[in-house]
Amino acid sequence: MKLGILVNTDKGLEDVIGITKEALSRGHEVSIFTMDAATKLLKNPDYSGLCRLEGVRMAFCAHSAQGEGVDAGLVPREITCGSQFDNAIMNNESDVVIVL
């Protein structure tokens, strides 16, 4: 199964990390799309470090990051700097999508 997680607030960091790790422990793939205020989480290494876990794919909305003052150049290269198109891809490819 492929789990999609749309993160659009900067609250619930522990929830995103916990859900991601639990899904991976059960053999699932996880795709995370970050937008709006949640792009501030990209500055937190606990959040951005999820991209280095096997089975996790991450992307973020560059427009949202710019609006929140997040320097996309400081985000790990493993996280796709994209757009709402990446969100649409995640929604299309995921079996289940949750929004946090």
> What residue ranges do the domains of the chain occupy?
2-99
Q: For residue 3, give Cα distances in angstroms to 34, 64, 73, 92, 100.
A: 14, 22, 27, 11, 13
Q: What is the pLDDT of residues 14-68, one digit of tens each?
A: 999 999 999 999 999 999 999 999 999 999 999 999 999 999 999 999 999 999 9
Four-way CATH pick for 2-99: 3.40.640.10, 3.40.1260.10, 3.20.20.80, 3.20.20.140:
3.40.1260.10
| pTM of the entire predicted model | 0.96
